[in-house]
């Protein structure tokens, strides 16, 4: 008999698949998508996986291999991926309201209430519709817990005989799937814990599930114990349909070249502060503290000692670009160390609160001035979000458009679906 089930819908090679949507000529052609700065490989089509290019590989290390294999290379195009993700999620909601959007390319569905004998047929139909309406291929895993649904989805992807849908519903079937899964591939078991578990002779997910829970708890803590429960069929995680209230908002970038000059860091930090505060305003939130961090090249020995950060607290929570930028620049002045070659920097906005709950300040020097600042901000957001605007058309003076810190992005595809200037052309 079948108990209650969760499904995980997982887009296959999502970014690579997005690049194919408006380029059907790339069907069957090996594709990779690179991270910001064209730094590492963050998505690979099946053909590239077959070539043996690992996930996360630094581009400069695999460049020759990619070229030799005739691989088509893309810089990341998040405007496109975000829009395609929205289309897939919309289809899921038309199937059921009980959906948790887990990431840009994955969602859980609560299948409680679905008759067991029709689940597989329903999921096959859902998969076919997503493919037909968005041209994105997905795999669907079904299991009694989120972690088992994840494992099922992995099986659906790897075992082509399953046709893209896999359900784990019996003990025998579940055990055989766990036995085929390396423990490090289990959702919640990362590199560090994998190493620790392997050293203790725990190699497969089944080995892990068969340990006494106390031992797991002792070895890798409560998070590991939850994963253990889930693998053994007890739910430790539920479907969360309402996204939680965010607790932080970060904008950061690696630089294309090392940066040592304070003035250049100011430009970068001002840009990050503007981006983060804009995102906050979009969600009607405000920040109570601002933290700036500066990082040296993490692949250099001794770089950790060069890293630094500083925090400033605002008198009143704010999401105003001018106020956030001023705070961030003050924090930068505290964190900056002369003579360090910085490779990355960022702004974190913390102690967030919803805007409507903000108390007007009793001691504000000039409420009228605050209003004007607020109105100006609204006007700027309006201009920058207009479909005809180029990115950040209106911005404050501390920022400049060129500099060592700007990222490289040489191979980006057009923003087909979100920019009038970049619509696909039919010829």
Partner DNA sequence: TCTGGGGTCCTAGGACCC
Q: Is 250 exposed, middle or buried (0-12, 13-18, 19+ CB in 10 A)?
A: middle
Single out the residue of 3, 52, 54, 56 in contact with DNA (rule: CB under 7 A): 56
Single out the residue of 40, 53, 142, 209 in contact with DNA (rule: CB under 7 A): 40
Candidates 107-115, 161-169, 204-212, 338-346; binding stretch for DNA (CB under 7 A): 338-346
- Counting contacts by CB under 7 A, is residue 236 touching DNA? no
Tokens (6 digits) for 298: 């993490």
* 33/53 Cα distance (integer angstroms): 12
Q: How far is the CB of 367 from DNA (least distance, A)?
A: 30
| Cβ–Cβ under 8 Å, residues 22 and 84 | no
Q: What number of chain residues touch DNA (CB under 7 A)? A: 48
**Per-residue x/- mask for DNA, residues 129 to 168, rule CB under 7 A?**
---------------------x------------------
Candidates 25-33, 172-180, 181-189, 263-271; binding stretch for DNA (CB under 7 A): 181-189
How many CA atoms are closer than 13 Å to the CA of 138, on its beta-carbon side?
Answer: 32
Find, among 2, 4, 3, 8, the residue nearest to 150 by Cα: 8
- Counting contacts by CB under 7 A, is residue 246 touching DNA? yes
Single out the residue of 6, 108, 114, 193 in contact with DNA (rule: CB under 7 A): 193
| Cβ–Cβ under 8 Å, residues 178 and 204 | yes
Candidates 166-174, 186-194, 206-214, 410-418; binding stretch for DNA (CB under 7 A): 186-194
Candidates 92-100, 254-262, 328-336, 367-375; binding stretch for DNA (CB under 7 A): 254-262
Segment 347-386, which members bind DNA (CB under 7 A)? none
Single out the residue of 64, 299, 390, 425 in contact with DNA (rule: CB under 7 A): 299
**Alpha helix locations (H) across 99-212?**
119-134, 146-158, 171-179, 191-199, 205-209
Q: How far is the CB of 187 from DNA (least distance, A)?
A: 5
Count of other CB atoms within 10 angstroms of residue 27: 10
Q: How far is the CB of 12 from DNA (least distance, A)?
A: 12
Find, among 126, 184, 123, 127, the residue nearest to 151 by Cα: 184
Residue 38 CB partners (closer than 8 Å, separation 6+) = 59, 75, 408, 409, 410, 411
**Alpha helix locations (H) across 284-342?**
303-306, 321-335
Candidates 25-33, 102-110, 167-175, 322-330; binding stretch for DNA (CB under 7 A): 102-110
Longest distance between any two alpha carbons in the chain, whole Å? 71
**Nearest CB to DNA, comparing residues 8 and 122:** 8
- Counting contacts by CB under 7 A, is residue 188 touching DNA? yes
- Counting contacts by CB under 7 A, is residue 69 touching DNA? no
């Amino acid at each position: 008999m079948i108990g209650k089930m969760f499904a995980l819908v997982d887009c296959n090679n999502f970014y690579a698949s997005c690049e194919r949507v408006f380029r059907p000529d790339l069907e069957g052609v090996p594709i990779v998508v690179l991270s910001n700065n064209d730094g590492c490989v963050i998505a690979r089509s099946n053909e590239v996986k077959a070539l043996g290019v690992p996930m996360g590989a630094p581009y400069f290390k695999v460049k020759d291999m990619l070229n030799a294999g005739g691989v088509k290379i893309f810089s990341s195009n998040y405007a496109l991926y975000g829009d395609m993700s929205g289309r897939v999620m919309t289809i899921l909601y038309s199937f059921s309201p009980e959906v948790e959007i887990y990431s840009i390319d994955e969602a859980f569905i609560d299948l409680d209430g679905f008759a067991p004998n029709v689940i597989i047929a329903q999921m096959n139909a859902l998969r076919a519709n997503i493919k037909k309406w968005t041209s994105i291929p997905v795999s669907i895993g079904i299991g009694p817990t989120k972690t088992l649904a994840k494992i099922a989805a992995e099986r659906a992807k790897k075992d082509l005989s399953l046709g893209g849908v896999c359900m784990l519903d019996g003990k025998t079937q579940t055990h055989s799937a766990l036995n085929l899964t390396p423990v490090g591939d289990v959702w919640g078991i990362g590199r560090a814990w994998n190493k620790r578990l392997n050293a203790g002779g725990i190699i497969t997910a089944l080995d892990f599930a068969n340990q006494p829970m106390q031992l797991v708890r002792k070895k890798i803590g409560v998070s590991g114990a939850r994963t253990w429960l889930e693998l053994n069929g007890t739910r430790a995680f539920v479907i969360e349909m309402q996204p939680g209230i965010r607790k932080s908002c970060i904008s950061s970038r690696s630089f294309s070249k090392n940066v040592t000059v304070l003035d250049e860091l100011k430009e970068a930090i001002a840009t990050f502060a503007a981006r983060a505060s804009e995102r906050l305003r979009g969600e009607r939130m405000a920040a109570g503290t601002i933290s700036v961090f500066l990082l040296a090249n993490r692949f250099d020995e001794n770089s950790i000692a060069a890293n630094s950060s500083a925090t400033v607290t605002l008198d009143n929570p704010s999401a105003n670009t001018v106020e956030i930028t001023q705070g961030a620049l003050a924090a930068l002045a505290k964190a900056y160390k002369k003579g360090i070659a910085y490779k990355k920097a960022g702004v974190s906005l913390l102690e967030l609160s919803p805007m409507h709950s903000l108390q007007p300040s009793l001691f504000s020097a000039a409420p009228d001035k605050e209003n004007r600042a607020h109105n100006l901000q609204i006007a700027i957001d309006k201009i920058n979000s207009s479909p005809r605007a180029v990115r950040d058309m209106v911005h404050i003076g501390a920022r400049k458009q060129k500099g060592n810190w700007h990222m490289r992005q040489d191979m980006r595809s057009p923003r087909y679906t979100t920019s009038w200037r970049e619509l696909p052309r039919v010829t």
